[in-house]
């Protein structure tokens, strides 16, 4: 067996936080509406998912190891305030933010999006070549039928993953709350666990409503069966929590809201540690109704007048969890940047560090 060929897009150290024995995990599949159990080594993993060069998987493993330390410290101390300050971005908190941005970019759903973006861009280049008289018009039909495509030596996902990793400081002004589950219902996670949301400006048509620097941004991510991390824009929301940045949850209805968000945002599967939750998952799915994305093939797709499919960025879920401890502030205007100049500074950093590589 080739070492490092089985490549995970949700890390095993993270999935073990939702497993009863650290070896296997239960999953509910959205297409089959069925509950299964699988070894953690086999879920959210495919042979050569990122590259057939196994050194790539080794490097990703090294990144995972560093980021897991940040999550481990947060869970051990169970205090956000000891990690996060307004004056500086502490290393452990940076690792937590990097876990969120890196994990979002590495899933199968993100890979599908990036590949769809590449297909649309390739077709656009072919169209331009035909209009310039440099390419045969019949080539466009060959591209559309899948007979001609753009070949990559390794996954085009790797560059966005690296970019997202280095974009983590853009989240430094968001405030974190650790939600501690004190109910008898476990939190679930999924194959696309990091959720960007913007309940404050959702549906107002802003092109960057869930950009990393967008005003009103929230980020949700379950960390274990009993811990959940919520980041929020403090200008738009006020969260009732302790001075340590911790909020205990004693109401099962709140846990159900957070679990429904994972169901809505997942690609195909949600995961948990205890057998026998199929009826519960069925019920949550039914409660979501039309807010659930039942037609997975059209996710993020926009059709133009010419019938061209344009695959956009993964959008904010239409479902907004009802959390009684979160209050919206009044009369906040939308801004693409919460911190003036943050995006330009990030782009300059990227160009300086990786311009030659790109």
Tens of pLDDT along 36-47?
999 999 999 998
Residue range 133-169, pLDDT digits in tens: 777 777 778 777 777 666 666 677 888 888 999 999 9
Q: Mean pLDDT over residues 230-237, rounded?
A: 98
- Going by pLDDT thresholds of 50, 70 and 90, the confidence category of residue 311 is very low
Q: Are 30 and 271 in contact (CB under 8 A)?
A: no
Phi-psi region of 205 (alpha: psi -120 to 50; beta: other; left: phi over 0): left
Residue 132's pLDDT is 80
What is the predicted pLDDT for the residue at 127? 77
Three-state SS string over the chain comes to: CCCCCEEECCCHHHHHHHCCCCCEEEEEECCCCEEEEEEHHHCCEEECCCCCCHHHHHHHHHHHHHHHHHHHHHHHHCCCCCCECCCCECHHHHHHHHHHHHHHHHCHHHHHHHHHHHHHHHHHHHHHHHHCCCCCCHHHHHHHCCCCCCCCCCCCCHHHHHHHHHCHHHHCCCEEEEEEECCCCCCCEECCCCEEECCCCCCCCCCCCCCCCCCCCEEEEEEECCEEEEEECCCCEEECCCCCCEEEECCHHHHHHHHHHHHHHCCCEEEECCCCCHHHHHHHHHHHHHHCCCCHHHCCEEECCCCCEEECCCCCCCCCCCCCCEEECCCCCCCCCCCCCHHHHHHHHHHHHHCCCC
108-121: average pLDDT: 77
Provide the pLDDT for residue 256.
98
Judged against a pLDDT cut of 50, whether residue 307 lies above it is answered with: no
Model pTM score: 0.88
- Phi and psi at 51, nearest 5°, equal -170, 155
Asked if residue 303 has pLDDT above 50, the reply is no
Among 11-15, 74-78, 307-311, where is mean pLDDT lowest? 307-311
pLDDT reading at 13 higher than 70: yes
Q: Using alpha carbons only, what angle is made at residue 128 by residues 122 and 131, rounded to the nearest 5 degrees?
A: 145
Among 66-80, 142-156, 310-324, the range scoring the smallest mean pLDDT is 142-156
Indicate left, alpha or beta for 341 from its phi (over 0: left) and psi (-120 to 50: alpha). Answer: left
- Token pair, residue 163, equals 């970019």
pLDDT of res. 294: 52
Q: What angle do CA 272, 115, 11 make, to 5 degrees?
A: 30
Terminal C-alpha separation, the chain: 33
Q: pLDDT digits over 243-298, tens only?
A: 999 999 999 999 999 999 999 999 999 999 999 999 999 999 999 988 876 555 55
**The pLDDT value given to residue 114:** 75
Q: What are the residue boundaries of the structural domains of the chain, listed by start?
A: 6-354
Which pair of tokens denotes residue 258? 């957070």
pLDDT tens digits, residue range 170-214?
999 999 999 999 999 999 999 999 999 999 998 888 878 899 999
Identify the residue whose tokens are 């971005």.
Answer: 89
CB 60 within 8 Å of CB 304? no
| pLDDT at 308 (0 to 100) | 42
What is the mean predicted confidence (pLDDT) over 225-252?
97
Q: Which residue has the higher pLDDT, 50 or 250?
A: 250
pLDDT for position 1: 44
pLDDT exceeds 70 at position 81? yes
Q: Between residues 117 and 272, which one has the greater pLDDT? A: 272
The tokens for 67 are 């980021």
- Around Cβ 171, how many Cβ atoms within 10 Å? 22
Nearest CA to 153 out of 59, 48, 60, 64 is that of 48
Query: What does the mean pLDDT of the chain come to?
Result: 87
What are 121-135's pLDDT values in tens digits? 667 767 777 888 777
Nearest alpha-carbon partner for 296 in 85, 71, 55, 113: 113
Asked whether residue 232 carries a pLDDT value surpassing 90, the answer given is yes
Could you give the CA distance from residue 29 to residue 269 in angstroms, rounded to a whole number? 5
């Amino acid at each position: 067996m080739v070492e490092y060929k089985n490549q995970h897009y949700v890390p095993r150290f993270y999935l073990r936080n939702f497993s009863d024995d650290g070896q296997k995990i239960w999953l509910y599949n959205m297409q089959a509406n069925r509950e299964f159990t699988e070894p953690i080594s086999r879920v959210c993993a495919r042979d050569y998912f990122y590259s057939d060069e196994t050194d790539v998987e080794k490097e990703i493993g090294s990144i995972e190891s560093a980021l897991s330390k940040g999550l481990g410290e947060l869970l051990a101390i169970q205090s956000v305030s000891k990690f996060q300050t307004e004056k500086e971005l502490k290393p452990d908190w940076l690792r937590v933010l990097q876990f969120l941005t890196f994990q979002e970019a590495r899933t199968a759903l993100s890979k599908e999006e990036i590949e769809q973006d590449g297909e649309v861009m390739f077709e656009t280049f072919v169209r331009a070549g035909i209009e310039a008289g440099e390419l045969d018009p019949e080539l466009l039909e060959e591209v559309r039928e899948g007979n001609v495509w753009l070949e990559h030596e390794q996954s085009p996902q790797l560059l966005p993953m690296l970019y997202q990793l280095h974009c983590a400081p853009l989240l430094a002004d968001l405030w974190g709350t650790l939600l501690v589950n004190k109910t008898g219902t476990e939190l679930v996670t999924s194959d696309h666990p990091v959720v960007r949301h913007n309940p404050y400006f959702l549906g107002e048509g802003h092109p960057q409503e869930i950009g990393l620097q967008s005003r009103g941004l929230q980020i949700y991510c379950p960390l274990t069966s009993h811990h959940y991390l919520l980041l929020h824009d403090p200008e738009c929301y006020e969260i009732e929590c302790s001075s340590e940045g911790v909020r205990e949850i004693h109401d099962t209805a709140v846990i159900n809201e957070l679990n429904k968000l994972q169901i809505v945002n997942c690609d195909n599967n949600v995961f948990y540690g205890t057998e026998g939750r199929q009826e519960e998952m069925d019920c949550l799915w039914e409660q979501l109704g039309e807010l659930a994305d039942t037609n997975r093939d059209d996710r993020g797709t926009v059709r133009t007048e010419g019938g061209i499919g344009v695959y956009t960025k993964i959008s904010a879920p239409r479902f907004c969890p009802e959390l009684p401890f979160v209050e919206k502030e009044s009369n906040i205007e939308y801004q693409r940047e919460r911190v003036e100049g943050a995006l330009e500074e990030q782009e300059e950093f990227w160009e300086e560090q990786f311009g030659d590589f790109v």
